[in-house]
Amino acid sequence: MYEVRFHGRGGQGAVMAAQSLADAAFIEGNYAVAFPYFGAERRGAPVLAFARVDANKIYRKTQIYKPDYVIVLDDKLIDLINVAEGLSKDGMAILNSTKKPEEIQLENEVRTATVDATTIALDVLGVPITNSVMLGAFAKATGLVKIESIEKGIMDIFGARIGERIAKKNAKAARTAYERTAIGTCKGGRIFKKEKKWLPTYKELPLGLATRAMKTDAGLVGPGSFVENKTGSWRTFKPIIDKEKCIECLFCWFYCPEGCISRTSNGLKIDYDYCKGCGICANECPANAIEMVR
């Protein structure tokens, strides 16, 4: 049996990637499962998905803590979280990165594959969604599944969800990544601050979870705690407002899911600490005054 953990962000399709990989393995005669872990998800938040493959029926129903492979869909995640946590010594990290494997530093020295998935996705699909791309890289880096099976898996899973035309493009993106993936070994020794979690006993936990603003080991909880959660780090594209074109209709202010647009005496202002780059504002602007810049 081998176990794969996918790291991505809400909207990047980590779940569909895990499903497509499982489907590809199934096509080759294996038993395979794929499943998500959903937290307080929304577009842009870090998410996990998992896949398990074996020759026989799989009974284990837990999440994966000691993966054989990790696949990271978002290039910025490796600087924020320890994506290699629990990764087996003989395992492999498959990363979306413009760097060569040797230039990457993770917790331990492990076999590493890299591919500039964001660029491939933008070229082939026109959007920075890297799930299918990373599957091509996985096929190349591990040899565990044939690229043809990956393409078939993508056609099955993506085809059913978003239609055959776009599924084909995704299969092509996977194939492109397959051809461009670099394989090597990363540097080890990177120290990650252990993510602190607030894990109170039932007695310490506010009764019924009615929570006043308070400081915990893991930061603020309760009303106003979001000031610490800077969603700006999620951003690939940055919205820029052209003041000349803006008619101050406030559509963008209304639609921004993060509430980070405000009106000032000097026109509209975006708080880039919290802007996650979703592009909704640009999409809604009737004056075409917002451009999304990488």
Partner 1 sequence: MMRMVTGNYAVAYGALLSRVDLIAAYPITPQTFIVEHASEFVNDGLLDAEFMRVESEHSAMSACVAASATGVRAFTATASQGLALMHEVLFIAGAGHLPIVMPVVNRTVASPIGIWAEHNDTMPQRDTGWMQVYCEDNQEVLDMVIQAYKIAENKKVLLPIMVNLDAFILSHTVEPVNFPEQSKVDKFLPRYKPEHVHLSPDDPMTVGSFAPPEYIQEVRYQTEESMLNAKKVIQEVNDEFAKMFGRNYHGMVEEYRTEGADAILVTIGTVTSTAREVIDEYRAKGKKVGLVKLRFFRPFPIEQFIDIAKRTKAIGVYDRSISFGSGGPSFIEVKSAIYGHTSIPMINFLAGLGGRDVMSDDIELMLDKTLEAAKTGKVEKDVVWIGTRGVTP
Q: Interface residues with ligand SF4 (CB under 6 A)?
A: 239, 241, 246-252, 256, 258, 260-261, 268, 270, 275-281, 285, 287, 289-290
What phi and psi, each to the nearest 5 degrees, are found at residue 258?
Answer: -95, -5
Could you please report the per-residue DSSP string of 39-108? Answer: SS--TTSEEEEEEEEESS-----S--SS-SEEEE--TTHHHHS-TTTT--TT-EEEEE-SS-GGG-B-SS
Q: Is 62 in the site for partner 1 (CB under 8 A)?
A: no
- Candidates 111-119, 193-201, 251-259, 274-282; binding stretch for partner 1 (CB under 8 A): 193-201
Site for partner 1 in 66-95 (CB under 8 A): none
Cα Rg, the chain, nearest whole Å: 21
Backbone angles phi, psi at 223, to 5 degrees: -60, 135
Q: What, of ligand SF4, partner 1, none, does residue 212 touch, CB below 5 to 8 Å by kind? A: partner 1
Total residues at interface with partner 1 (CB under 8 A): 19
Span 17-46, contacts to partner 1 by CB under 8 A? 39-40
Question: Which has the closest alpha carbon to 79: 98, 100, 104, 102?
Answer: 104
Whichever of 30 and 118 has its CB closer to ligand SF4, that residue is: 118
Q: Judged by CB, which is closer to ligand SF4: 139, or 289?
A: 289
Q: Which of the listed partners (ligand SF4, partner 1, none) does 199 bind, with a CB threshold of 5 to 8 Å by partner kind?
A: partner 1
User: Amino acid identity of 255?
Assistant: Y
C-beta of 205 vs 247, nearer to partner 1? 205
State the binding partner of 200 from ligand SF4, partner 1, none, CB within 5 to 8 A by kind: partner 1
Residue 249: CB atoms within 10 A of its CB come to 14
* The two three-digit tokens of residue 75, written as one number: 């290039």
C-alpha span between 181 and 260 (Å, rounded): 38
> For partner 1, which residue of 86, 159, 222, 232 counts as binding (CB under 8 A)?
222
Q: Tell the smallest beta-carbon distance from residue 216 to partner 1 (Å).
A: 12
Residue number with CB closer to ligand SF4 (183 or 287): 287
Residue among 130, 116, 118, 109 nearest 184 (CA): 109
The residues of the shown chain that bind partner 1, judged by CB under 8 A, are 39-40, 197, 199-202, 205-213, 222-224
